Amino acid sequence: MKMNIFKLASILSLTLLILSCSNKKENMNKMPPINELNYSSELQLSALNEAIEADPDNHYLYFKRADYFYGINNFRIAQNDIVKAIRLDGNVSGYWLLSAQINNELENTDQSLSEAQKALELGNTEPLLYALLANCLLEKNDTITANQYISKLTAIAPQMAELNFIEAKKSILRKDTAQSFLKYKACIQKNPQYIEAYIALMSLYYNKHMYDSIMPLLIKAKRMRPCKPELFLYEGKFFESINKEKVAYAAYKEGLLCDPQAVVLYKPLSEYYQKTNNYKEAMNYLSKWIEKHPADAKSIIKMGDYALKLNDNRGAITYYKNSLSIDTTNTYLRKEIERIEKNIQAAADTSR
């Protein structure tokens, strides 16, 4: 087994060197009957840029360019253009759907859900919209409302890979991992380019300590989406599993080069710096994680622990109290705060 893991690691190293950063999604938005600008690649972008320069108030052109950037996975630039399109005309359901898709990719679940609901209000009845709504609702653990959209999706598009993906997420909430495995695999079978299903499967394998099963999925996924931050996350986790800490660190840092705002990479980087006793950098990355997850009481406690390592007792108390405001049941933390406060008071008395 160990030999297989090292062989797979070698294959990954070779494969990653030759991966391309291009991947085009099929546009599934139903739009008004306006002449399409159908060019490939850079020619399409060049045509859109020229058209927007000639007609800067044309909302449809901004939508088309947003869809282009969405198709090549440049979600932040796509977001800029779809915001402009909606600002110019907020009554086109397809614009709201695309914006919801973009925010879903950027893990802005609340905003994605709100925009998907707006598309629904404007009369959009596409299966992709129902899938997006169900997915966002499951992210928020609202299975009752999600089931309504899953039922609609089952009735009108039972063949969609998205349906298998959503059913897998629902199974995870029910802690039925065996069914989740089957559904994610069915999703990939229907759509071999469904990156999120690859990532979800890697997560299941990692949690089951089936590390050798991660690598084949990772190689395939990186061929399709070499700049997806979650892929760097599981690349790093795989190398950590075989005690290649520095290689894992390199994977996390490479992921940040692709996307400096990849929140998913902040926590493992913080843990790496903790292992190397670089508590200042550990705090730096963990604080970025907490900005996006302010209710993560355990991570806030870690910030306090790092502060103690840096002899910042008052800072540690502040972090511990912040964590207690989220989780008031932590009696150990209360005692720890009291202990540190007594030490501070004792040091102050001695100095007098």
**What was the pLDDT predicted at 6?**
47
Query: Which residue in 292, 298, 244 sits closest to 265, CA to CA?
Result: 292
- The answer to whether the CB of 168 falls within 8 A of the CB of 200 is yes
Q: Which two tokens stand for residue 247?
A: 């290689």
Burial 273-282, CB ≥16 within 10 A → b, else e:
bbeeeebeeb
Please report the DSSP string for 12-32 in residue order.
Answer: HHHHHHT------PPP-----
- Measured at the alpha carbon of residue 58, what is the angle toward residues 126 and 133, in degrees to the nearest 5? 25
The domains located in the chain, with CATH, are 24-124 (1.25.40.10), 294-352 (1.25.40.10)
Report whether 60 contacts 31 (CB < 8 A): yes
pLDDT in tens, the chain (352 residues): 444 544 445 444 444 433 433 333 333 344 433 334 443 577 889 999 999 999 999 999 999 999 999 998 899 999 999 999 999 999 999 999 999 999 999 989 999 999 999 999 999 999 999 999 999 999 999 999 999 999 999 999 999 999 999 999 999 999 999 999 999 999 999 999 999 999 999 999 999 999 999 999 999 999 999 999 999 999 999 999 999 999 999 999 999 999 998 999 999 999 999 999 999 999 999 999 999 899 999 999 999 999 999 999 999 999 999 999 999 999 999 999 999 999 888 877 776 6
- Give me Rg for the CA atoms of the chain: 24
Nearest to 258 by CA among 226, 215, 282: 226
C-beta pairs of 134-142 under 8 Å, 24+ apart in sequence = 134/166, 135/104, 135/162, 135/165, 135/166, 135/169, 136/104, 136/109, 136/112, 137/113, 138/166, 138/169, 138/170, 138/173, 139/109, 140/109, 140/113, 141/173
Nearest to 13, CA basis, from 270, 269, 244, 261: 244
- Candidates 157, 207, 217; CA nearest to 184 is 217
Helix H, strand E, coil C: the string for 190-227 is HCCCCHHHHHHHHHHHHHCCCHHHHHHHHHHHHHHCCC
User: What DSSP letter does each residue of 148-178 carry, written as one string?
Assistant: HHHHHHHHH-TT-HHHHHHHHHHHHHTT-HH
DSSP for residue 321: H
Q: Write down the pLDDT at residue 108.
A: 92
pTM: 0.78
Q: How far apart are CA 125 and CA 307, in angstroms?
A: 52
Distance from first CA to last CA of the chain, Å, rounded? 64
Say which residues have a Cβ less than 8 Å from residue 119's Cβ, sequence separation at least 6: 93, 94, 96, 97, 100, 129
Block residue for tokens 């898709």: 101
pLDDT of residue 3: 43
**What pLDDT was estimated at residue 352?**
65
Whole-number Å distance between alpha carbons of 81 and 86: 9
Cβ of 105: how many Cβ atoms within 10 Å? Answer: 18
Q: Is the dihedral of CA 297, 298, 304, 310 positive or negative?
A: negative
